[in-house]
Amino acid sequence: MLYSYVALHTIRKYIALGLVEWPGLQPGWLAPPLLLLHCLHFGTVVAGTLFISILRTLLMYLWVVVRYSVPSIAFVYIVWELVQEPRADKRSKNSLKTSPYLPKHPATIVSNSDLYSMEEIVDILRNNGLESYSQLFLDHAIDGQVLSHMTEQDLKDMGIRRIGDRKRIMLLLDMEKENSDG
């Protein structure tokens, strides 16, 4: 059940930030499809085999159907959406990549942020709808190396008062770290 807790926590974070918008979506609906996608995509093995991981996911799906009254079509739709978005995102292997998580702005993240200058970091902020903080990042001399070590408290200390904007910047950092690890 650790997977379901992590999946639900992540989903609630995305919904709270307004990064996932599906009408009538209940966070519990996404846990089984996310776990199934994780098992298939990353080859997560539970108790020795991928088959058991998939079986465990399907059993969790049945539990969620009972718990949240999820229509079966919702499961299929959510899996389809989750499988399709990453494929559309793999258009090129440039250092700047479009993010599927911030649909209102053409989002970009950095694959090796340590190598980017202050101006390039400012461009990334602008591309993600955070242009109001461009001058602030320049004033504080935030380049890729500094940005990769920043915390949410650092952003608050810099003067970024809106929690939503701090969270969006941290989400960009999280996605960058996942991309450079993967």
Over the stretch 116-171, which tens digit does the pLDDT of each residue have? 788 888 888 888 888 899 899 899 988 888 887 888 899 999 999 998 888 888 88
Give CA–CA dist 32/57, Å, rounded: 6
Q: Are 40 and 13 spatial neighbours (Cβ–Cβ below 8 Å)?
A: no
Q: Kindly indicate the confidence band of residue 108, based on its pLDDT and cuts at 50, 70 and 90.
A: very low
Domain of residue 46, residue span:
2-89
Give CA–CA dist 35/54, Å, rounded: 9
Which tokens belong to 30? 């996404």
Same domain, yes or no: 84 and 11: yes
- Check which CATH number belongs to the domain holding 177 and give it: 1.10.150.50
How many CA atoms lie within 13 Å of 130's alpha carbon, on the beta-carbon side?
A: 28
Same domain, yes or no: 67 and 134: no
- For residue 36, CA distances in Å to 30, 69, 139, 181 come to 10, 19, 45, 21
The pTM (predicted TM-score) of the whole model is 0.38
Point out the domain boundary residue: 22, 54, 89: 89
Same domain, yes or no: 151 and 111: yes
